[in-house]
Amino acid sequence: MNTNYLKQSYILSGISTLVLSSCQCNAPKANDALNIVYIMTDDHTAQMMSCYDSRYVETPNLDRIANDGVRFTNSFVANSISGPSRACMLTGKHSCENKFYDNTTCVFNGEQQTYPKLLQNAGYQTAVVGKWHLESLPTGFDYWEVVPGQGDYYNPDFITQNGTVVQKEGYITNIVTDMAIDWMENDRDKDKPFCLLIHHKAIHRNWMADTCNLALYEDKTFPLPDNFFDNYDGRIAAASQEMSIAKDMDLIYDLKMLQPDKNSHLTPTYKKMIGRMNEEQRAAWDAFYNPIIEDFYSTKPSGKELANWKYQRYMRDYMKTLKSLDDNVGRVLDYLEEKGMLENTLVVYTSDQGFYMGEHGWFDKRFMYEESMRTPLIMRLPKKFDRKGDITELVQNIDYAPTFLELAGVEVPSDIHGQSMVPLLKGEKPKDWRKGLYYHFYEYPAEHMVKRHFGIRTHDYKLIHFYDDVDVWELYDLHNDPTEMNNVYGAPEHEQLTDSLKRELLKLQRQYNDSVHLVRTEPKYLKEIGL
């Protein structure tokens, strides 16, 4: 990371903080306003969370939040990739408006409006610790310490507010939690309400578990998803991706099968990661993985046997990394309970997007298909809310900003795309709640080679248009085909439905001001629906 850029970004951060601080008036007292603790992980998918799906794993501490509060059963993201998803969350706006389209070409404009800035201006203390992944440095926070880029699982570096980079000893999920609790206990002004963002690196690729959890789940064998060997019939874009467990999951970087005479293009990156370990960490790591490495290269599985072997290792490593995350969520809940803060604090848990756990034979995200677009969202509500159970309305990560602002008593700016979920938290059923969600993925050509696409998802259907170097549409009946295996676009019996969905899609693009991009790149699409 460029140090001059770090310094410039830090100066901008300081200026923004000073401007906002000078505008504060009528700041609320801590006992007059709700605190917000927002916990976000990376690539944690709903099917790996036992309050959503009990097939694979138990997450007792995450389940505590759902059991004591609400579980959103139709929660989605607007752009399923880390940086853009975070920008949507911070601004309450789609990528087309916050201008952070992808992870490869964009730098987040920290001068733009975000909900932490609006809360800060209203007298809230704001803080973020952990993963940031927006290239520029945080603005709108009284306190922040973030990892450069993706961060490291072991002995990670952190960028501090004074512009220095410090290395901290230990496992990153524990460290981020330590920092969050320490700020709540020792550094904040306890006469003011606060909004704390706890952003974890976990459970991002390449799923490196804490040494105390390495031996877990080795006795588990997971059945392959029914569509693990998907042939992508009728789905051209799905066939051209590079996120296959069988073909693209790296034996060394992802699955840790390092031997002196074995290499891949990701071997140097993996060696750098394990090179960060201290002697004790490395000894525990080698003691666990060396016997597996020896067995793997002696048995030499191939074909479908190798694909299954990779899937089993992937699932186990993912679960072990998740175990530490769940334990640390429990630490935060215990701290809030011990300090008598739970009843006056909104606790939110979500992920920056979903993830594939072998569905369609894949790992990673990016696609508008369900496992990627869908994200877990659970909330433990403050005492003034008595709502518990499931919320079934369609919600999206652009809705977090207006929700937090309304809960804090801050006026929601009219240019925010999202809708406040406060009525849903109160048990209301707004008649004007949205009927469809807009999605747009821009990062191509890039890692995993998922084509650019946009689309609309309703409760019953999903319409997707893949564009750029392809021009194909896909339509799915989500009730009769929940795994999205049968593209029914072009079927005569769906012609009227398709036309209706295209018109609704265009309405959303115009509502969110994405129509300029559309007209510039896809005049054929507008002509196709007669506009």
Instruction: For residue range 164-174, list pLDDT tens digits in order.
Output: 999 999 999 99
- What tens digit of pLDDT does each residue of 140-157 get? 999 999 999 999 999 999
Residue 20 has pLDDT above 60, yes or no: no
Q: Residues 466, 525: contact at Cβ < 8 Å?
A: no
Q: Which range has highest mean pLDDT (16-25, 28-37, 464-473)?
A: 464-473
- Confidence class for position 386, pLDDT limits 50, 70, 90: confident
Q: Rounded to the nearest 5 degrees, what angle is found at the Cα of 283, between the Cα atoms of 279 and 286?
A: 135
Residues 6+ away with beta carbon under 8 Å from 129 = 144, 145, 146, 176, 179, 180, 183, 196, 197, 198, 199
Euclidean distance between CA atoms 52 and 394, whole angstroms? 16
Q: Residue 16: pLDDT above 50?
A: no
For the cut 50, the answer to whether the pLDDT of residue 47 exceeds it is yes
Nearest CA among 352, 79, 360 for reference residue 241:
360
Beta strands 75-76 and 389-391 are unpaired
Closest Cα partner for 157 from 3, 330, 350, 333?
A: 3
266/79 Cα distance (integer angstroms): 26
How do beta strands 194-199 and 35-41 pair?
parallel
- pLDDT tops 80 at residue 446: yes
Angle, CA of 337, 419 and 356, to the nearest 5°: 75
Enumerate residues 6+ apart whose C-beta is below 8 A from 198: 37, 38, 39, 40, 129, 130, 176, 177, 180, 332
Q: What does DSSP assign to residue 222?
A: -
- List domains and CATH numbers for the chain: 3-206+317-425 (3.40.720.10), 235-315 (no CATH), 438-528 (3.30.1120.10)
- 67, HSE (Cβ side, Cα atoms, 13 Å): 9
Alpha-carbon span 370 to 353, nearest angstrom: 11
Average pLDDT over residues 496-523: 83
**pLDDT above 90 as % of the chain:** 89
Q: Which two tokens stand for residue 182?
A: 């320490």
Q: Cα–chain-centroid distance for residue 199?
A: 10
Q: Note the pLDDT tens digit of each residue in 99-118.
A: 999 999 999 999 999 999 99
Residue with tokens 């067995």: 295
Q: Read off the pLDDT of residues 255-283 as tens digits, 9 standing for 90 and up.
A: 999 999 999 999 999 999 999 999 999 99
Residues contacting residue 284 through CB under 8 Å, at least 6 positions apart: 211, 214
Nearest CA to 420 out of 400, 438, 440 is that of 400
In this prediction, residue 384 carries a pLDDT of: 85
Which amino acid is located at 157 in the chain? D
Residue 221 amino acid letter: T
CA nearest neighbour of 218 among 100, 299, 317, 363: 317
Give me 76's structure tokens.
């989605």
- Its pTM stands at 0.93
* Spatial distance between the Cα atoms of 76 and 148, rounded to a whole number of angstroms: 27
Please state the separation of Cα 402 from the chain's center in Å: 18
Residue 27 is predicted with a pLDDT of: 52
Q: Which of 472, 421, 461 is nearest to 237 (CA)?
A: 472
The rounded percent of the chain whose pLDDT value lies above 70 is: 91
Question: What is the reported pLDDT for 147?
Answer: 98
Q: How far apart are CA 531 and CA 523, in angstroms?
A: 9
The pLDDT-based confidence of 387 (bands split at 50, 70, 90) is confident
Q: Which residue has the tokens 């196709």?
A: 528
Nearest alpha carbon to residue 197 among 103, 114, 137, 131 = 131
| φ, ψ of residue 132 in degrees (nearest 5) | -115, -60
Q: Report the C-alpha gap between 141 and 201 in whole angstroms.
A: 19
Strand order in the sheet with 345-351: 165-167, 157-159, 143-147, 125-131, 194-199, 35-41, 345-351, 377-380, 70-72, 389-391
pLDDT at 7 (0 to 100): 36
